[in-house]
Amino acid sequence: MERKLIDRFGRQHDYLRISVTDKCNLRCVYCMPEEGMTFEPDEKLLRFEEIAEVVRVLAGLGVRKLRLTGGEPMVRRDLEKLVAMLAAIPGIEDIALTTNGIFLAPKAEQLRAAGLTRVNISLDSLHADRFRLITRGGDIRKVLDSIAAAERVGLDPIKINVVLMKGMNDDEIADFLRLTLERKLHVRFIEYMPIGHDDEGWKARYLPLSTVLERCAELGWDAQPAEAVYGNGPARNYRIAGAPGAFGLIHPVSDHFCETCNRLRLTADGNIKPCLYWSDEFNVRRYIGDDRAVEELFFRALDIKPQNHEMAQALASAAQSHTPTARRMSQIGG
Ligand code: SAM
Ligand code: SF4
């Protein structure tokens, strides 16, 4: 009988998030410092062949969905080759990409042809100046072009990731909601997470997502719970009456979704992370080529997967049962 990736709490894992690099062409304020980041040397990153080997083993254990992330996955040369290698693995049904969208437009067609099914594009402001400030230098036109290119080549659904930050972009909630009235886009508001930050700076900007529904009600827009948009694990979904698009609220901090967590993470340097938030990691690289050893390492990682990430305790400055990761979000992949 096929073994499945089921943990101590009965959660079955069919989803792997793969970070393909820790490097990025941007320096978003909530993700990386402006200066002083050090990156893994290229030889420490898993090669495409190694990533595909790991995925082949995991597909035999029931993994069906993949997401490529980073750092910025599009800075890894020939990403479409990796997509094609992964799409050819029996059992893999869905390959998604999370990107900042700066380099996507010219490559969208090729990625789609290689087997990419859908895309999440991060966009935290609709104003060019503010976008440049948040990303420390990003050109919003390129991102908007990428969204249009993704629509054109038929990547579906297209999700727009918006990290909500108090005093930074919370005055744009209505504009993001309006996008869903105009286009078939799925806007996902994400709570700002305390990863790789000093606690006080994070708390000053943190905003619970109840703000989005309050804003919607103030505007007189009737937001009804909506069906899940494909691949939308942890989001609570809504649609404004008559809108072609939808929106989702991802509350990792205030309303964690750990009880239905079906995901494992693989960092660019080959570490299995059973939980986004905790420090536990298992490096798989030296086992690649020995399928049984790779399987066993994933089962070991699952064995210590915690029931809950406990980020809410960080908000309340309360004690936590594990050590939070020392990695930044760009070194995990979100
Ligand atoms: N570079 C790509 C991008 O920005 O989409 C992929 C990697 S990025 C780490 C993945 C997602 O994590 C992005 O949507 C980003 O906005 C989000 N993210 C980064 N730091 C975060 C934080 N502290 N809290 C919440 N989301 C965060
Ligand atoms: Fe780069 Fe994405 Fe982090 Fe922004 S959120 S710095 S684009 S990895």
Average pLDDT over residues 198-214: 87
Smallest-distance ligand from the CA of 119: 1
pTM assigned to the model: 0.93
Q: Which atom of ligand 2 is nearest to the CA of 24?
A: 1
Looking at the predicted structure, is the pLDDT value of residue 331 above 90? no
Average pLDDT over residues 302-320: 70
pLDDT at 154: 96
Q: Are 205 and 167 in contact (CB under 8 A)?
A: yes
pLDDT at 254: 72
Q: Whole-angstrom Cα distance, residue 179 to residue 247? A: 10
pLDDT at 332: 72
Smallest-distance ligand from the CA of 124: 1
Q: Which atom of ligand 2 is nearest to the CA of 163?
A: 5
Query: Residue 197 Cα, ligand 1 centroid: separation in angstroms?
Result: 13
- Residue 51 corresponds to which tokens in the numbers above? 């990533």
Looking at the predicted structure, is the pLDDT value of residue 89 above 80? yes
Q: Whole-angstrom Cα distance, residue 231 to residue 115? A: 16
Query: Residue 122 Cα, ligand 1 centroid: separation in angstroms?
Result: 7
Query: Residue 27 Cα, ligand 2 centroid: separation in angstroms?
Result: 6
Pocket of ligand 1 contains residue 190 by CB under 6 Å:
yes
Three state DSSP letters for 8-54: CCCCECCEEEEECCCCCCCCCCCCCCCCCCCCCCHHHCCCHHHHHHH
Looking at the predicted structure, is the pLDDT value of residue 201 above 90? no
* Residue from 182, 98, 105 nearest 150 by CA: 105
Sequence-distant contacts of 213-222: CB under 8 A, at least 24 apart = 213/238, 213/249, 215/173, 215/174, 215/177, 216/173, 216/177, 216/240, 219/174, 219/177, 221/177
Q: What percent of the chain has pLDDT over 70?
A: 92
Average pLDDT over residues 54-69: 98
Pocket of ligand 2 contains residue 190 by CB under 6 Å:
no
pLDDT at 314: 61
Q: What is the mean pLDDT of the chain?
A: 91
Looking at the predicted structure, is the pLDDT value of residue 249 above 60? yes
Annotated domain spans of the chain = 15-332
Kindly report the CATH class assigned to 15-332.
Answer: alpha beta
pLDDT at 23: 96
Task: Compare 104 and 253 and report the one with higher pLDDT.
Answer: 104
CA nearest ligand 2 atom 8, residue:
71
pLDDT at 305: 85
Looking at the predicted structure, is the pLDDT value of residue 310 above 70? no
CA nearest ligand 1 atom 12, residue:
334
Average pLDDT over residues 289-294: 98
Main-chain dihedrals φ then ψ at residue 96, nearest 5 degrees: -115, 165
Pocket of ligand 1 contains residue 267 by CB under 6 Å:
no
Q: How confident is the model at residue 319 (pLDDT cuts 50, 70, 90)?
A: low
